[in-house]
């Protein structure tokens, strides 16, 4: 019954909140606000405010459903399950790496002018010396060919 009240309250609250305050829904004492949704939408490079009204409602309804399912999972003790704990630890490690790499990437962004300056200062290291590749060496006699093979073998060793 508590969940049903939360859904009814969230639905009623949604219609009044989409254009008003940052809190968009409340489900069983848990609030969903624009910043929660923006965090989820971050990888899509879009914010909640940029969504159409229909998309806002759809995203919010999915988050409401998610919160209700989280409540059910907690109520049956999933958080104490060993499989859950192992999966959570793996996710935590992956998230640590992802956040660290994002921060590292943001610190190491190089502008076009910086890249061009580096290139100009190190232009010699970007040049490739002339190269030749030979698969066949044509000579007049077999003896001459054997001498060349011996020389190349000595050079290679």
Paired residues of 25 in beta bridges: 32
pLDDT tens digits for 95-121?
Answer: 999 999 988 888 888 889 999 999 999
Q: Which CATH number fits domain 2-78: 1.10.12, 2.70.98, 1.10.287, 1.10.8?
A: 1.10.8
Q: Which helix (H) or strand (E) holds 104?
A: helix 82-107
Domain ranges across the chain: 2-78, 81-111
In terms of DSSP H, where are the helices of 47-81? 53-75
pTM over the 0.75 mark: no
Q: At what angle do helices 53-75 and 2-17 cross, to 10 degrees?
A: 160
pLDDT tens digits for 50-86?
Answer: 888 998 899 899 989 999 999 999 999 999 999 999 9
């Amino acid at each position: 019954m508590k969940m049903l009240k939360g859904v009814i309250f969230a639905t009623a609250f949604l219609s009044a909140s989409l254009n008003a305050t940052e809190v968009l829904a409340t489900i069983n004492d848990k609030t969903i606000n624009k910043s929660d949704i923006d965090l989820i939408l971050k990888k899509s490079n879009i914010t909640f405010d940029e969504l159409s009204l229909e998309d806002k409602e759809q995203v919010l309804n999915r988050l409401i459903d998610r919160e209700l399912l989280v409540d059910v999972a907690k109520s049956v003790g999933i958080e104490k399950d060993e499989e859950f704990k192992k999966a959570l630890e793996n996710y935590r490690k992956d998230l640590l790496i992802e956040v660290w790499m994002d921060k590292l990437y943001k610190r190491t962004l190089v502008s076009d002018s910086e890249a061009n300056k580096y290139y100009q200062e190190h232009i010699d290291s970007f040049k490739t010396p002339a190269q030749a590749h030979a698969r066949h060496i044509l000579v007049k006699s077999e003896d001459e060919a054997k001498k060349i093979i011996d020389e190349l073998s000595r050079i290679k060793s």
